[in-house]
Chain A
Amino acid sequence: MKLIIKNGRVIDPANNIDGDYDVVIDKGVIQSVTPSGKMKEDSTAKIIDAKGCIVAPGFMDMHVHFREPGFEYKETIESGCESAAAGGFTTVAMMPNTNPVNDNRSVTELMISRAKAHGKVQALAIGAITKGLKGETLSDMGDLKEAGVIAFSDDGRPVMNNQVMRRALEYSRMFDLPLIQHSEILDLTHGGCMNESRISTELGLKGMPTEAEDIMVYRDIALLEKTGGRLHVAHISSGESVELVRRAKAKGLAVTCEVAPHHFSLTDESVRGYDTNTKMSPPLRAQSDIDAIKAGLKDGTIDIIATDHAPHDLADKQADYHSACFGIVGLETALPLSLRLVDEKVLTLPQMVEKLTSRPAEIFKLDQGTLGVGKQADVVIFDPSEEYKVEAAKFKSKSKNSPFDGWPVKGRVSNTIYKGKITYTK
């Protein structure tokens, strides 16, 4: 069915478009983008009036955990995709720490086919760097690429062994796919459950120092300089790590990085009170780290925003702080949290959209993330000024583990469109 989105402010960073346009979608692709008010009536089309709203390419989240196969009580690919659509996302990339691990073609094919059967979101698969995420033997990267993975990662577990990481960077060059590293030197964080700071000291919780992240980011950059290949630093949280990436980029190295909304929205002060929804890895850091992250977003050192959507059911979170699982859900709060960056003038609205659309498409070489004529019609429509309170209980995700529950926020998705079909309506 033909779809016309009228009267919205269209922001399409890849084509340098920011203005009032009408977007015509048919046969699953963008047919035209023309200045508002110039189009003839078309009774055969469904009209969406986007007055007061932003019309942008569908968001892309290159870091989600959909828990299937293995942990379906936390999330399934179907519930994860519903959550993504509700958050304005049309593309996500699923991390391989499932059970069994996505380190082989059959798991990749299962994950991709489940997502396709659901059909509301393009859910891509990330393959493991090493077999079983053990950090020892490289996975069959060539076969995984054939099966459709778009990157490799042992996310949740860093590749600790220097030689294995070097080999991984070298070997992956053949496939021109990035390695996504969860940067954490485990001997420095062992037993830790929050940022190491005066607050961890006061609360009597074992700390995870920023150096644990910095050292691995530095190591990987040092290896990359020799090996070539492509490195993507996952969920950067330390100010010093941002600086390391900045310097590596200045040298012209193929390194990119992402930040999760909670790492620019909350500090480790939130851990006071022992709410286990403030427990994630990497942990919430200090204000100085947030300031460095914002500077990195502003100057482009931090390429993209990715949520690290990590659903855990109540039993996994309703435990003492040490035993509770790491991670929070993120897909349905990403937009309002990112819009705070626009309010704070860290990013312009087009820059924010870019970090959720065209930039991730560029890094992961996806022919998406724009509203160019002839492109797949993945679109999000959102009202940037609608005010409301986050209600975790109403999340489409199976899990409700969010520290933002009850937060007053601004900015809500009204429609998500994937391949020309409406997948979410407010």
Chain B
Amino acid sequence: MNLINKDILGIEPLSREEIEGILDTAVSFKEVSTRQIKKVPTLRGRTIINLFFEASTRTRTSFEIAGKRLSADVINISASTSSAVKGESLLDTAYNLEAMNPDLLIVRHGVSGAPHMIAKHIKCPVINAGDGAHEHPTQALLDLLTIREHSKQLAGLKVAIVGDIAHSRVARSNIHAMLKCGMEVTVVGPPTMIPVGIECLGVKVLHNLEEAVAQVDVVMMLRIQLERQNEGLFPSFREYSNLFCLTADKLKNSRKDILIMHPGPVNRGIEIALDVMEGPHSVILDQVNNGVALRMALMYLLLGGGSETDH
């Protein structure tokens, strides 16, 4: 299994074969995290920098743990502690980090395309850990890994992605990934949160959650960012919850084995009800668990693993 590009900037440039290869590799890494001594020497002596310009718990920690379990040295930089606060430009920050010879740069940035600009200017591989409303490729890959664990085969599955599609990089990466793997995708939300031309990507659009969940094998709820109400995208949280909160009642006509996903962080009671989130159909924590193995796999594939491939 070889990746074509030096970077993982999005799902859109990946082929179905690459996606499946990454998932297969991730499966083989899962076992490492179940050992008592959760460490293999694969990336010993390699340096990985987590460069995060946006807040993150899950993704940053997941990358850090993945790197450490592969024995790489992992350095974390967040915007508030970087020279960005002194007015250093994004590119200068990247050049300076590159000058210290890292082997991998993991970038999260609030603006779409920012990791792409960095990747264009520096030689070391870049993984996009989320850029604006554009892509979040590792999230989509770990989501597919989670779905595949429960459904054996991805092709033919029907998925509903629910919430603020317009501002969601998770939605975009999942749409690309799922369509490439032969799944059917419906996006669901109020029209103010469905971006112009989304159907050109090959997805269906629905505005009724109950109707949508009755048709699908997987429902993926997205986080509603609290500031969106101020932008007037919906009238109130009460109204949003009435229409789009995934509750047991809205699931009454759904398949008995439906999978319920959420990339986190969750606004409990706004987009998903507490009992649903903690109920038998929820695979939310499986997603988080799979994130580590998936990111280990990507690091291994991008950095080649050196001569020590024993894990």
Q: Return the chain B residue nearest A191 by Cβ.
A: B231
Report the minimal beta-carbon distance from A318 to chain B, rounded to whole angstroms.
Answer: 6
Q: Determine if B102 is an interface residue (Cβ-Cβ < 8 Å).
A: no
CB atoms of A197 and B117 under 8 A apart: no
Residue of B nearest to A207 (CB): B196
Given contacts A202-B172, A204-B133, A204-B135, contact A320 B113 (CB under 8 A): yes
Interface size class of B (residues with CB under 8 A): 20 to 34
Interface contact B172-A274, CB-CB below 8 Å: no
Q: Which residues of A contact B172 (CB under 8 A)?
A: 202, 204
Given A202-B172, A204-B131, A274-B112, verify A320-B90 contact (CB < 8 Å).
yes
**CB-based nearest A residue for B134:** A204
Per-residue 0/1 for A250-288: is the Cβ within 8 Å of any B Cβ (1 yes, 0 no)? 000000000000000000000001100000000000000
- Asked if B196 contacts A322 (CB within 8 A), the reply is no
Query: Chain B residues with Cβ under 8 A from A318's Cβ?
Result: 89, 91
Interface centre among B112, B117, B135, B201 (most CB of A within 10 A): B112
- Which A165-211 residues have C-beta < 8 A from chain B? 196-207, 209
Q: For the complex, is A319 an interface residue (Cβ under 8 Å from B)? A: yes
Number of A-B contacts (CB under 8 A): 67
Determine the distance from Cα of A318 to Cα of B135 in the docked complex, in whole angstroms. Answer: 21
B166 / chain A contacts, CB cutoff of 8 Å = 201
Counting CB contacts under 8 A, is B14 at the interface? no
Say if the beta carbon of B233 comes within 8 Å of chain A.
no
CA distance A321 to B113 in the complex (A): 7
A198: B residues at CB distance < 8 A: 196-198, 200-201
Q: Check A320 against B196 for contact (C-beta < 8 Å).
A: no
For A201, list chain B residues within 8 Å (CB). Answer: 166, 195-198, 200-201
A403 CB, min distance to chain B CBs, angstroms: 15
B residues 194-218 touching A (CB-CB < 8 Å): 195-198, 200-201
Tell me if B113 and A315 are in contact (CB < 8 A): no
Distance from A201 Cβ to chain B, minimum over Cβ atoms (Å): 4
Is A197's CB under 8 angstroms from B197's CB? Answer: yes
Q: Judging by beta carbons under 8 Å apart, are A321 and B196 in contact? A: no
- Nearest chain-B residue to A273 (Cβ)? B116
**Nearest opposing residue in chain B for A209, CB measure:** B196
Task: Determine the chain A residues whose CB is within 8 A of the CB of B117 once the complex forms.
Answer: 274, 320-321
- A321/B197 in contact, CB under 8 A: no
14 contacts between A and B (CB under 8 A): A198-B200, A199-B197, A201-B195, A203-B134, A204-B131, A204-B134, A205-B113, A207-B195, A274-B112, A319-B89, A319-B91, A320-B114, A322-B112, A323-B111
Q: A203-B113, A207-B195 are in contact. List 14 more A-B contacts (CB 8 A).
A: A197-B196, A198-B198, A198-B201, A200-B196, A202-B12, A203-B134, A204-B169, A204-B172, A274-B112, A274-B113, A318-B91, A319-B90, A320-B109, A322-B112
Q: Nearest 4 pairs between A and B by C-beta?
A: A198-B197, A204-B134, A274-B113, A204-B133
Residue positions of A touching B, CB distance < 8 A: 196-207, 209, 273-274, 315, 318-323
